[in-house]
Amino acid sequence: MIGIVGVGHGKFGKMPEIPVQDLCIQPVLEALDDAHLQLEDIDVVVIGTSPEYHVQRSIGGIVAEHLGLNPKPVFLTEAACASGSAALYLACSLLNSDIAETACVIGVQKMSELSTAEILGLMGRVGDVQWESIFGTTFPGYYALLARRHFAEFGTTSEHLAMISVKNHQYGAENPKALFKGKKDVTIEKVLSSKMVANPLKVYDCCANADGAAALILQKEEKISSDVEQPIWLIGMGMASAPMSVLTRDSLTEIVSTRLAARQAYEMANIRPKDIDLAEVHDCFTIAELIAYEDLGFCEKGKGKDFVENEENTYYGTIPVNLDGGLKAKGHPVGATGISMVYSVVKQLRGEAPAFQVQDCKMALTHNIGGIGQYCYVNILGNERPSIK
């Protein structure tokens, strides 16, 4: 069994003056202090990032050097917006294979080195470049296709999506790490009247680019010191992929990789969706969060809108979702997002959330998508060690 013994998180925001390697310093040192460990205790470093956003190539090398982690082995993982979760998955594999006992996992991204137009161009190529990108696809455009199809099949509306945006901004306003900390003026009317990006998605349906980093310290159970008061256990993990070509998929109202990854994670943890006390899901767009409710089994297919209307996704609902503000309000430094999600649920499972602490939180889920579901990672974490292998 693998435990998370330390977590650290930097502020998400626009920080053009800070080099990418400097973004990692505070989160890593914070995570080590949290774990009562030193740099020399780390056996392996795994860094999740999407390299094309950086001027510096092969950033794993410069991050390790800057942090004083040489000559430890360093791995760099890339799975688009799920790069951080890919790093976590690899780190767990290394620990389970007895190659290492203690791993430092870093998710980092510096997006302010590129213009918005350049970022849109990069993200537009997350689909099939040969057959789709040539027609001018964009990241918002792809998710707009999913939204319009969901509207047509299930009666979902822009108002439902606006309710998700308002919820996430409400929670993100209280998150000291969030890009939009303190922004409490987001209303349904403001979301619906904001500028159209890709019909039906408007500005307030879309997450914001950001710079930032987060870090985790993982250890094998037998290595965990008694100084660690509350290890958080990784009790279920799932990963699945989907075709690069979005328009050749069987359905535009689901992310099939989410369904498959969630099934793996639930089976490994030996639980059902209703056992989840808290979830962090990938809300790059509001429609992505709504579809995730259905694909993760929080509600039936086509009932995402009812899940929203009945406020089941709120702090007071059956499964609170994105109480840290999600990508929508926290910001989305793509390589850091998956690790940031884990940081948030670890804090909740320890009873240390800065705001909106879920009472008696024992089981939490993270859901991190790369691209338009080309990659999906689902993790289930608990604060009690289960009696399973």
8 strand-pairing partners = 215
Are 180 and 173 contacting, i.e. CB atoms less than 8 angstroms apart? yes
CA 349, chain centre distance (Å): 17
d(CA 214, CA 207): 18
Peptide bond into 51 cis (omega under 30): no
d(CA 173, CA 159): 21
Active site residue 332: yes
Tell me which of 332, 361, 367, 376 is the catalytic residue: 332
Active site residue 150: no
Which of 3, 32, 1, 384 is closest to 231 using CA atoms? Answer: 3
Tell me which of 9, 24, 54, 81 is the catalytic residue: 81
Which of 82, 50, 52 is closest to 370 using CA atoms? Answer: 82
Q: End-to-end distance of the chain based on CA atoms, in angstroms?
A: 7
Rg (CA), the chain: 19
Is the Cα torsion angle 361, 373, 142, 155 positive or negative in sign? Answer: negative
Query: Residue 214: what residue type?
Result: A
Which of 386, 376, 377, 321 is closest to 172 using CA atoms? Answer: 321
Element (H, E) at 68: none
Give the catalytic positions in this structure: 81, 332
